[in-house]
Amino acid sequence: MNKEEIIQRTAVYVRETLSGDGSGHDWWHVYRVWKTAIMIGKEEKSDLFAVELAALLHDIADWKFNDGDEEAGPKAARAWLEKLDVEEAVITHVCRIIASISFKGAGVKTPMNTIEGKVVQDADRLDAIGAIGIARAFAYGGSKGREMHNPEEKPLMHNSFSAYKNSKGPTINHFYEKLLLLKDQLNTDTAKQMAIKRHGFMVQFLERFFIEWEGKA
């Protein structure tokens, strides 16, 4: 099986697995990350085969939907890639990217050691900001039964992954605890340029949100 066939079979597998999800972690999230990663990957001269596989499989078993199990994603990705007889070096590379890709709290560093990891992490984080990021934040909050906003509950800057995983704060707090921080945590120059307008749109949205929250025009 050639690389193109492996990519296409993986795309079909992920679409079948994640279609219909209402939390913002559905197939179309993966599709956007995949296409953005290819674009960034070309600019950054990365290994596109590893980039595409990691982008496609990065949410195949997200810890948020697997009782906080951080190993669920890499394990599921490995099982799929072994089924396709992908060489071990590629599988290891892809699984390491998946294991390290997630934001784990404002005070927790999540460095990537390869350009491929940096590319996929950037693509994933770009989909968490801007207009799409706003929509996904509220979709996820709603799926978890969280309040939209509670002015009596202040944002928390989580200093451990455990604290971040166990947070149940309102969705608006998530902007301050994660989304507004992402612009300055991107790895590549390509992604940093893409983030400028998306970040600005979130700032404008929050300004308008708080005006309307107080019942003003």
The domains located in the chain, with CATH, are 3-213 (1.10.3210.50)
What is the pLDDT, as a whole number, of residue 110? 85
Q: What is the pLDDT of residue 65?
A: 62
Mean pLDDT of 101-125: 92
Q: What angle do CA 21, 55, 205 make, to 5 degrees?
A: 60
Q: Name every residue whose Cβ is closer than 8 Å to that of residue 204 and which is 6 or more positions away in sequence.
A: none
Lowest-pLDDT range, 76-90, 99-113, 123-137?
A: 99-113
* pLDDT at site 62: 76
Instruction: Summarize pLDDT for 42-65 with one digit per residue, the tens.
Output: 999 999 999 999 999 999 987 676
CA separation, residue 10 to residues 4, 7, 24, 154 (Å): 10, 5, 20, 41
> Per mean pLDDT, which range of 18-22, 39-43, 206-210, 211-215 is the poorest?
18-22
Contacts 24+ apart (CB under 8 A), 41-47: 41/116, 41/119, 43/188, 43/190, 44/115, 44/118, 44/119, 44/188, 44/190, 45/115, 46/115, 46/116, 46/119, 47/115, 47/116
Q: Which tens digit of pLDDT belongs to each residue from 154-173?
A: 999 888 888 887 888 999 99
